[in-house]
Amino acid sequence: MSASAAPVIAIDGPSASGKGAVAQRVARRLHFHYLDSGALYRLVGLAARLAQVNIDDERRVTTLAAALDAHFDDEDIYLDRQLVTDAIRSEEAGADASAVATLPGVRQALLLRQRAFRAAPGLVADGRDMGSVVFPDAAVKIYLTADAEERATRRYKQLIGKGMNASMAAIFQDIQARDDRDSRRAIAPLEKCSDAMFLDTTNLSIDDAVEQVVARYATATQAP
């Protein structure tokens, strides 16, 4: 199978919807590769901060994105050979990522890098524009979401669990601000593709969501 023919399961949705956890488990179940595209935007935001480049400076941030020295090793993420797995998960890093993600030059610079993750036997990719822009020919497209309050609670527990400082009110506000920016931006906004399956996980466990995605994939790839 050529890399470009490897099947893709695209999982898009707003922040803290659980799409990362679901995507990772689906990838493990099917022995597929996994792309956390949000991590790439988070890395660009961090690279800009470390280089003291203003995150609104499109020309300079795009140059950083094009030259990004990023390395993924299972759950560990490296920037310029430094382990940054936790550093890119802070609320601040999320806000920076959302800001650099509005820059067309940055999105263009990351496009081929994301497509390079496509390899046999398949890829599960999560983000905001996996089904609409990066892998429009994905075998399965999922729009995974949950109520903003439920997402804020999940993010809060996640941060506290990692020993980070967190305020529920601040997280809720941040999630609303990010939803707003990610869905309103002019280029590749977060939106449900017409051919995507809507999956609301507000009252659904991760395991149940994984089952639904795997079942959808089985149906989509069944011989007629």
Contact positions toward ligand DC, by CB under 6 A? 15, 37-38, 41-42, 94, 97-98, 101, 127-129, 178, 182
In whole angstroms, the minimum distance from the beta carbon of 185 to ligand DC comes to: 8
In whole angstroms, the minimum distance from the beta carbon of 7 to ligand DC comes to: 19
User: Which residue's CB is nearer to ligand DC, number 30 or number 35?
Assistant: 35
In whole angstroms, the minimum distance from the beta carbon of 28 to ligand DC comes to: 19
DSSP label at residue 1: -
In whole angstroms, the minimum distance from the beta carbon of 142 to ligand DC comes to: 14
User: Which residue's CB is nearer to ligand DC, number 10 or number 210?
Assistant: 10
Cα separation, 188 vs 107, in Å, equals: 9
Cα separation, 104 vs 81, in Å, equals: 27
Residue of 121, 119, 120, 144 lying closest to 131 (CA atoms): 144
User: Which residue's CB is nearer to ligand DC, number 122 or number 179?
Assistant: 179
Cα separation, 34 vs 105, in Å, equals: 24
User: Which residue's CB is nearer to ligand DC, number 111 or number 204?
Assistant: 111
- Both tokens of 185, joined, read 């931006």
Cα separation, 186 vs 201, in Å, equals: 27
